[in-house]
Amino acid sequence: MKKKVLIVLISFFLISFSVKGKKEDLEFKNYHTPKDINKIMKDIAGSNKKISKLYEIAESAGGNKVYIIEIGPEVGKIKKTFPAIFVASNFSGINMLSSEASVFLMKDLIEKPEHRKDKTWYILPEGNPDAAWNFFKKPLLKDSRNMKPFNDDKDDRTDEDGFEDLNGDGLISKMRLKHPEGEYIPVEGEKRLMKKADPVKGEKGVYKIYTEGLDNDGDGKFNEDGKGGVDISRNFPHLFKFFTKTGGYWSGSESEVYNLFKFIFSHKEIAMTITLGETNFCMIPPRGGRKGQVDYTKIKIPKRMGKFLNVDVEKSYSMKEIMEIVKKIVPQGFEVSESMVASFLGLGAVVNPLKNDLKFYKEISEEYKKYLKKVKHEKKRLDPPKAKDGSFELWSYYHLGLPTFTMDFWTLPKIENKKKLSDITPEKLEKMTKEEFLAMGKDKINSFLKSSGAPENIKADFIINAVKSGQMTPKKIAGFLKKMPEKKDSKGGKPEERSLLSFSDKNLGGKGFTDWKKFEHPTLGNVEIGGAVPYAAIVPPPEMIKELLNKQVPFIFELTKKISEIKIKSIKIKNLGAGLYEVKVWIENRGYLPYPTEMGKKNGMVSPVVVTLSGKGIKFIEGRKRSLIKNIGGLGTKMVKWLVFSKYPVKAQIKSETKMASRDIRSVVLGGEK
Amino acid sequence: MKKTLLIFFVLLFSFSGIRSSEYSIDKVQVPLTFDNYYTYEMTIAALEKLNKAYPYLTKLEVVGKSEEGRNIYAMIVSNPKTGNELDKPGIYVDGNIHGNEIQATEVTLYLLNYLLTNYEKNNEIKNLVDKKSFYIIPIVNVDGRYHFFKDANTSSSNRGLRRPKDDDNDGLVDEDFPDDLDGDGNICLMRKEDPFGNFKTDPEDPRLMIRTKPGEKGEWTLLGSEGIDNDGDGKVNEDSEGYVDPNRNWGFDWAPKYVQSGSGDYPFSGVGLKSISEFIMKKPNICMTWLFHNSGGMFLRGPSTKSQGEYPKGDVQVYDYLGNQAERIVPNYRYLIGWKDLYTTYGDFGEWMTMLWGTYNFVGELYTHDPEAFQTIGERKKRAKLKENEDSKAMFRGNIEKDRERLKFDDNLNQGKFFKEWKHYKHPVYGDIEIGGWVKMSTRVTPPFLLKDLVHRNASAVLFSAKHTPEISIKISNPKKIGKNLYRIRTALVNSKAMPTMSYHAKYKKLYTEDFLKVSGKGIKVIAGGLLQDKYRDKVIYKEYRPEIQFFTIPGFSKIDFQFLISGKGKVIFKYKSRHGGKIVKTIDLK
């Protein structure tokens, strides 16, 4: 009986039912299946033909169609004059809320013309439909891989040993078995959680942990080769990892990814990408600190190249210096570019976000915090994960050079720390005078040190003496303590696990975690089945969807306001006499974001601003008809100058154009031999 | 109207045909001849004729279409009577991935012609054709070959894919090709008289120029390749056919264009390349690959980047065995390592094969200028004394001595056909200039009279490696009764060739399933089974689960033994299966 209730509860919690033939509801009371979402897109495109269009870009290995919807003022036009935003959700296939966010955004865009009057939107709500289906299937299994057959264990069969829901609770959980080789023990203080025994701490392993299922192929391993091939969120080219079990053989090996390459490269009007899913660049700017990036101002030349270039290999050179050296020795008529030299020297790729780009990322993250405060969405939650190697967002920033933002919308709430031993916080400490501090006394100081996670060897006596002698001030101490990492308490399990348990107990009526229960396994014998419920830590319960999206999705519109917008600011024409005219045009970037990003400058993927002057009979004395501006900073201006000759007054046109941002045309009259 | 259009096109076509005919053969017939080059159309004709002459040994497939819609052909040579094509070790050979590197195609055509015309005459060849499968794509860059012959070119131009690409990042695409100003079918050099120029006339051969030293008076300024500034941007010929290098666009370790120019927008943006990759993935038996290019006289193996680290030791041994032999077969060619001895490449074809499909791969850089040396024996000895590093510098910088000899070689062996005398031309921008220099069929392209030697030697290097793809035999011992209902059977699997049944790289990275030996039978049960380490001391490592199936790789020139303990009666089937080692089934009876 209990079991039945559980199943009903879980199905209610996790599965959204769709009625055939009915229009999909957009109430956001439940999660939509990939099929529902495709239907919604078809409905929208079908009933809003003037402002929306559906693109079928790919079919997944599992036979699911991948659609992108275009919403905007220039539907059907191949050459666009307004910038476009590419929004994509759920490449991991497990971040279900992000697909809802895309649907929410579509609805918003259809309903509110102001957001689509001068921008094109391309929305891909389900980047990994095969994996997304797992959420709606029974038994419930969390898996980011698409349905490409893959021989995980490299034996003589493919996909032959998947998971089984042995206890029939609709979930794929964990099995624990007491075993002589067991390595795991229950966590002290929270018996539901398991951890690896640490012999150094005198702990002895008891349990072996398996995923729930049978050893179908009798090779001694459990569920090692289930259905599933490639995790789409790891199949993109930047920092793609080869030889992994889930990333695919090469980047773009999957049709979901390869066809997205094609789509994006055939839509040069895309000026910004927003990835909805796991990471949140609005909250935490893209991380740096990866090793292996070459500093272009200090390049060491390999020995074998040194001989050929005739340089001192002990010294470092800047790229400019190397270019000068190389230009002198290549055959005449052979044009050398920086990228040719970079590949010749094997300098490799940029792996960390560039400084100038980090500036706007940091600024925008401040704005995001203020925004959350304004909409009263400030509850502390676990940090979203960092972007994965081979993810779409890294590709977008590093290879496309586009302003790239990501949002995740939900993680588990952070657990409030247990009752403080002391009510003194570093913030309070900061404001204390020396005397006030010393007046607290030894005991109070000791308990305060303990509660703020100071190292154990630092005792009150030491601190009191230091403050007395003036070596330390309360402010300095507060500064140190602020920098201390939050004290990790191994008791009670890892923070994520504790957060899940607490969230499950408080908000899910305990349905986020299955207690360990005995089960008679056909080959392993007495085991216990239990553990975290799949998705409970990643996907919020459906009743939360609407509020989470209502509050957070609109920030997307704040982001898109920042897109660079290239316009003609002013024009000055000076008659130099005898038919000679000087034309000066100032081109401005009205947007907050630079055109292009620093990375876009570096990778050369963004086309320049083309400024043209045309008019009948105009002869160019200085400057060319098409003048190029390679970049304009955010809110910045650049000038183009021509000297032209025109015997008679003519109507001329000055045009500024970019492939992605915007264009502008002005008419002027110039010429005449006065 | 339609008719007149047709006539117009026929005329246009035949006109260009006449122009390039002196660079191509007159007639395609089997056996193929190798005293001149095959255009794209002639290559197809040659393949069709070979297919018609040897229908039982060949299959001709269209693997895909190029950017401009031309067919890419593959010819498969395999004898179906001696077994399924996919159950035999596969050797893949292609050429002309770079549009200008034309003689690579002739090597592949020669190999096909040689295998087929010698099948009935020569036992070694018959053996190879019966036991192996050959996959040959004579022209990878079909648009490239077509345009190299048809259009005016230098010997280095027209290398990339015909994929529209804005090379100079000016918002326009492919708007400034070189121009054949004097209409001779070649893109040569332009020079202008200039006392401040960096070059002066070579005192020994006035057709050549040498760089002036600082302070020396100049005579000439070199203006680059023949052409005009079509788009008026102040640069000449800066944006020709889309520069996507077909050998930088593959899926392994691909890098964007700021890391390496020519890589294309994303892996496999080249449509022809993508279809070739799909063709290859359907042939998992391919274990040896040869990709022919020009020039420089090199047999290159990977790794292509330093960061990848050296290949596993076992693989290096195989490469050394094949590479050293290739050096002997083709004199003056050097067996080298890509990143180390030449330069770093990302996303090349060879690494995609070795790193993801576990093949052994050589890139053959065809042709050196050694045969163009024009020396007495004494002069040759003098030259040999020059240090090697001077020679390698010469590869990039040019060497006046060598140029003088090459010109004399051309004068005396080609009757001056491949160097165009400097001639006056009135250029729209530069005014009075001269056009002249080496023509497109020179420099990187082998003079036709040397072609036969080149194709035969390089095809022979391929044949040697083909002979050393794995060759597996299996021996099964007589069952030995060791209990009332228990028999011991031993198997010996022997690889008599140099190449292991799986590359060490593939094995370490677990690219695919290893070889396996599976024992089955209706009335029997395999109770235990494992690797027999020492048959004299009966030392066996028994496999705990599924003892009836054993996974392994057989190294080159070696043997691997297994022991099975079997109960029951009846037929015992031993099935060996390997991607590169083929398939063997043997049966014994337990009575």
**What distance in Å separates residue A6's CA from the closest CA in chain B?**
37
The neighbour count for residue A234, using CB atoms within 10 Å, is 24
Chain A residue whose CA is closest to B552: A155
Task: Answer yes or no: do B169 and A604 touch at CB < 8 A.
Answer: yes
Rounded to 5 degrees, what are φ and ψ at A317? -125, 155
- Say whether pLDDT at B6 is over 50: no
Strand ranges (E), B245-368: 286-294, 298-301, 334-337, 360-366
Mean pLDDT for A97-110 is 98
Query: In this predicted complex, what is the ipTM?
Result: 0.93
pLDDT band at B7 (very low <50, low <70, confident <90, very high): very low
Task: Answer yes or no: do A624 and B551 touch at CB < 8 A.
Answer: no
Look at A45-49, A325-329, B129-133, B167-171 and tell me which has the smallest mean pLDDT: B167-171
Q: How far apart are CA A307 and CA B182, in angstroms?
A: 40
Buried b (16+ CB within 10 A) or exposed e, A357-392: beebbeebeeebeebbeeeebeeeebebeebbbbbb
Q: Identify the bridge partners of residue A627 per DSSP, sorted by sequence position.
A: A611
Q: What is the pLDDT of residue A490?
A: 56
Q: Which of A416-425, B150-159, B347-356 has the highest mean pLDDT?
A: B347-356
- Say whether pLDDT at B219 is over 90: yes
The rounded percent of chain A whose pLDDT value lies above 70 is 92
Q: What is the pLDDT of residue A44?
A: 96
Q: How far apart are CA B476 and CA B561, in angstroms?
A: 10
Mean pLDDT for A204-215 is 97
Q: Of A79, A307, A332, which to mutate for an interface test with B (greatest number of B Cβ within 10 Å)?
A: A332
The neighbour count for residue B225, using CB atoms within 10 Å, is 23
pLDDT band at A226 (very low <50, low <70, confident <90, very high): very high
Read off the pLDDT of residues A128-146 as tens digits, 9 standing for 90 and up: 999 999 999 999 999 999 9
Task: Answer yes or no: do B513 and A608 touch at CB < 8 A.
Answer: no
- Say whether pLDDT at A475 is over 60: yes
Read off the pLDDT of residues B98-144 as tens digits, 9 standing for 90 and up: 999 999 999 999 999 999 999 999 999 999 999 999 999 999 999 99
- Say whether pLDDT at B304 is over 70: yes
Q: How many residues does chain B have?
A: 591
Largest interatomic CA distance in chain B: 103
* H, E, C per residue of A40-93: HHHHHHHHCCCCEEEEEEEECCCCCEEEEEEECCCCCCCCCCCCEEEEEECCCC
Strand ranges (E), B264-308: 286-294, 298-301
Which structure tokens are listed for B308? 């990848």
On average, the pLDDT of chain B sits at: 92
Task: Answer yes or no: do A332 and B198 touch at CB < 8 A.
Answer: yes
Q: How far apart are CA A319 and CA A321, in angstroms?
A: 5
**What distance in Å separates residue A323's CA from the closest CA in chain B?**
15
Task: Answer yes or no: do A219 and B546 touch at CB < 8 A.
Answer: yes
- Say whether pLDDT at A487 is over 70: no
**What distance in Å separates residue B224's CA from the closest CA in chain A?**
4
Give the SS3 label for residue B220: strand
Q: How far apart are CA B234 and CA B229, in angstroms?
A: 6
Q: Identify the bridge partners of residue B488 per DSSP, sorted by sequence position.
A: B480, B565
* H, E, C per residue of B103-172: HHHHHHHHHHHHHHHCCCCCHHHHHHHHHCEEEEECCCCHHHHHHHHHCCECCCCCCCCCCCCCCCCCCC
Q: What is the pLDDT of residue A219?
A: 96
The rounded percent of chain B whose pLDDT value lies above 70 is 94
- Which of B261, B306, B544 is facing A337, going by the closest CB pair? B261
pLDDT band at A18 (very low <50, low <70, confident <90, very high): very low
Chain B residue whose CA is closest to A601: B258
Look at A33-37, A616-620, B379-383 and tell me which has the smallest mean pLDDT: B379-383
Q: What is the DSSP letter of B287?
A: E
Q: What is the pLDDT of residue B1?
A: 38
- Say whether pLDDT at B13 is over 60: no
pLDDT band at A310 (very low <50, low <70, confident <90, very high): confident
Q: What is the pLDDT of residue A421?
A: 56
Q: What is the pLDDT of residue A313?
A: 84
Q: How far apart are CA B358 and CA A243, in angstroms?
A: 12
Please report residues of B whose CB lies closer than 8 A to that of A242.
252-253, 355-356
Peptide bond preceding B31 in cis form (omega within 30 of 0)? yes
Q: How far apart are CA A281 and CA A264, in angstroms?
A: 21
Q: How far apart are CA B336 and CA B368, in angstroms?
A: 15
H or E, element range at B505: helix B504-508
On average, the pLDDT of chain A sits at: 90
Read off the pLDDT of residues A543-557 as tens digits, 9 standing for 90 and up: 999 999 999 999 999
* H, E, C per residue of A452-519: CCCCCCCCHHHHHHHHHHCCCCHHHHHHHHHHCCCCCCCCCCCHHHHHHHHHHHHHCCCCCEEEEEEE
Q: How far apart are CA A109 and CA A556, in angstroms?
A: 11
Is residue A229 within 8 Å of A148, Cβ to Cβ? Answer: yes
- Say whether pLDDT at B22 is over 90: no
Task: Answer yes or no: do A220 and B269 touch at CB < 8 A.
Answer: no
Helices (H) and strands (E) in chain B, counts: 14, 24
Mean pLDDT for B371-388 is 82
* Helix A96-111, helix A34-47: angle, nearest 10: 10
Q: First and final CA of chain B: distance in angstroms?
A: 84
Task: Answer yes or no: do B224 and A333 touch at CB < 8 A.
Answer: yes
Q: How far apart are CA A565 and CA A663, in angstroms?
A: 8
Q: How far apart are CA B517 and CA B520, in angstroms?
A: 10
Task: For CA atoms B258, B259, B264, B267, give the dihedral sign.
Answer: negative
- pTM across the whole model: 0.90
Task: Answer yes or no: do A602 and B512 touch at CB < 8 A.
Answer: no
Between the alpha carbon of residue B2 and those of residues A149, B5, B11, B14, B118, the distances in Å are 51, 5, 14, 18, 47
Q: What is the pLDDT of residue B95?
A: 98
Q: How far apart are CA B273 and CA B254, in angstroms?
A: 14
**What distance in Å separates residue B260's CA from the closest CA in chain A?**
5
Q: What is the pLDDT of residue B5?
A: 39
A4-10's contacts with Cβ under 8 Å and 24+ in sequence apart are: A6/A169, A6/A170, A6/A511, A7/A168, A7/A169, A7/A170, A9/A509, A9/A511, A10/A140, A10/A169, A10/A170, A10/A171, A10/A511, A10/A533
- Say whether pLDDT at B315 is over 80: yes
Which structure tokens are listed for B69? 């819609």
The neighbour count for residue A192, using CB atoms within 10 Å, is 17
Q: What is the pLDDT of residue A213?
A: 97
Is residue A252 within 8 Å of A268, Cβ to Cβ? Answer: no
Task: Answer yes or no: do A155 and B198 touch at CB < 8 A.
Answer: no
Closest by Cα among A35, A15, A17, A6 to A135: A15
* Helix B40-53, helix B103-117: angle, nearest 10: 10
Closest by Cα among A555, A540, A546, A538 to A104: A546
**What distance in Å separates residue A487's CA from the closest CA in chain B?**
39
- Say whether pLDDT at A300 is over 90: no
Read off the pLDDT of residues B473-511 as tens digits, 9 standing for 90 and up: 999 999 999 999 999 999 999 999 999 999 999 999 999
Q: How far apart are CA B308 and CA B22, in angstroms?
A: 46
Q: What is the DSSP letter of A564?
A: -
In sequence order, the 6+-apart residues with CB closer than 8 A to the CB of A641 are: A582, A583, A584, A585, A622, A623
Q: Where are the alpha helices (DSSP H) in A203-313?
A: 255-265, 303-309
Task: Answer yes or no: do B307 and A348 touch at CB < 8 A.
Answer: yes
Chain B residue whose CA is closest to A241: B253
3-state helix, strand, coil split of chain B in percent (to 5) is 30, 30, 40
Which structure tokens are listed for B440? 């497109």
* Helix B103-117, helix B448-467: angle, nearest 10: 60
Task: Answer yes or no: do B398 and A331 touch at CB < 8 A.
Answer: yes
Read off the pLDDT of residues B573-583 as tens digits, 9 standing for 90 and up: 999 999 999 99
Chain B residue whose CA is closest to A342: B259
- Strand B539-542 to strand B133-137: parallel, antiparallel, or no bridges (unpaired)? unpaired
Q: How far apart are CA B112 and CA A588, in angstroms?
A: 63
Q: Of A157, A343, A392, A618, which to mutate for an interface test with B (greatest number of B Cβ within 10 Å)?
A: A343
Q: What is the pLDDT of residue A407?
A: 98
- Say whether pLDDT at B169 is over 90: no
Closest by Cα among A299, A358, A392 to A95: A392
Task: Answer yes or no: do A342 and B260 touch at CB < 8 A.
Answer: yes
Q: Identify the bridge partners of residue B474 per DSSP, sorted by sequence position.
A: B493
- Which of A345, A399, A608 is facing B171, going by the closest CB pair? A608
Q: What is the pLDDT of residue A22?
A: 56
Q: Report chain A's C-alpha Rg in angstroms.
A: 31
- Say whether pLDDT at B238 is over 80: no
Read off the pLDDT of residues A241-278 as tens digits, 9 standing for 90 and up: 999 999 999 999 999 999 999 999 999 999 999 999 99
